[in-house]
Structure 1
């Protein structure tokens, strides 16, 4: 907004000045550059960019979430997606959590050769170091798979996927609710 105001003030100032005949060509270039900059700034305000979390995650190495020693364990229904991933990596026996209630939210991340996961991006410093992490989901049979980048809230249970080798934990949704992208979409 400040840049738009400065550009408008500069445009008014340039309009009041009478350029010398030999500077007329330069003045036209300056006005064209000013108008182009003003139009771009206005376009950014009216049509803000919408980042694709799935595209960003696809270009980042996955599985980089550091395993921290857990000093306490939240009740299953209070664990975020990040808490679940950290817990499953620190205690890799998937049978320990089968049947635990799950309430998580995230964006749909396509996984080549597998069903999409529900994911988040972990940002330690800035978006340049964003690391994707997610949980596999057994999507309801007979329904189309959700679209990439769609934000969902899932309530269900954690289960043991015996079809994968080695067996792993996955979420069996009881209720899937589309949600708006949160104001703070990244995990700290």
Structure 2
């Protein structure tokens, strides 16, 4: 691979990063807060590609025709991340990963006020932390609405799950809510549900890491489409 080819690969990789950052594609790889850094990386790669092409053109003009020294063949490996980014859009992690990882639920430093609404819209992490560590004190008498995907353990017990990110999809871990009450007759793993229900003090332990998994008493469910950002970023706050 000569310098001009390297510049072309850098340009294409930078353009692919800009495309991912300008659309929802980047959410399959990193959390939403890293979008500015992803876009900046794309700009830097494109600038490096332009500078490399300009420098090589000037150098060729000064030295005139001659024998080119081939670059190491290993440099063609630069194409691999480019092809992966363009051709492969990995699905979000689902029930298979969730059931093989322990809950990432952690005790928060404090609880903010509940959002307005009836039912109250809460994330999986927010409900689980209030129920498990806050003992439901802020939830008494308030119906809640939570959205996540379904996971069924070996005994068929249903969980509402959201994979939580610290940085990127590689470190995603599940936060789980066990479901009881009025459930659909057919439960399909990885299906996304909007669940309305009320707090119950019932609690179970995750068989993987013995972490707390609170229950939610379901009063109604509604199937929904997977959100553009399938991950939750608030587990460590």
* TM-score between the two structures when normalised by the length of structure 2: 0.51
Aligned to 1:137, the other structure's residue is in SS state strand
Following TM superposition, by how much is the alpha carbon of 1:85 offset from its aligned partner in structure 2, in angstroms? 0.9
- Size of the aligned set, in residue pairs, is 165
Query: Counterpart in 2 of 1:183?
Result: 229
In 2, Cα distance between equivalents of 1:124 and 1:40:
22
Aligned to 2:229, the other structure's residue is in SS state coil
Following TM superposition, by how much is the alpha carbon of 1:133 offset from its aligned partner in structure 2, in angstroms? 1.2
Aligned to 1:133, the other structure's residue is in SS state strand
Query: Counterpart in 2 of 1:77?
Result: 120
Checking the alignment, whether the CA contact within 8 Å between 1:159 and 1:172 is kept in structure 2 is no
Query: Counterpart in 2 of 1:146?
Result: 188
Query: Counterpart in 2 of 1:54?
Result: 95
Segments of structure 1 that go 5 or more residues without pairing to the other structure are none
In 2, Cα distance between equivalents of 1:71 and 1:77:
13
1:86-118 Cα distance to aligned partner (Å, 9 max, x none): 110233369x74x63222111223334242211
The runs of at least 4 consecutive aligned structure 1 residues that moved more than 6 Å come to 17-20
Checking the alignment, whether the CA contact within 8 Å between 2:164 and 2:173 is kept in structure 1 is yes
What's the Cα RMSD here?
4.1
Checking the alignment, whether the CA contact within 8 Å between 1:67 and 1:89 is kept in structure 2 is no
Q: Which of residues 11, 27, 30 in structure 2 aligns to 1:2?
A: 11
Checking the alignment, whether the CA contact within 8 Å between 1:68 and 1:90 is kept in structure 2 is no
CA change 1:186–1:18 in 2 (3 A) is: farther
1:109 to 2:118 alignment: no
Following TM superposition, by how much is the alpha carbon of 1:151 offset from its aligned partner in structure 2, in angstroms? 2.6
CA change 1:59–1:169 in 2 (3 A) is: closer
Following TM superposition, by how much is the alpha carbon of 1:79 offset from its aligned partner in structure 2, in angstroms? 2.5
Checking the alignment, whether the CA contact within 8 Å between 2:107 and 2:133 is kept in structure 1 is no
Aligned to 1:186, the other structure's residue is in SS state coil
Checking the alignment, whether the CA contact within 8 Å between 1:157 and 1:171 is kept in structure 2 is yes
Checking the alignment, whether the CA contact within 8 Å between 2:131 and 2:199 is kept in structure 1 is no
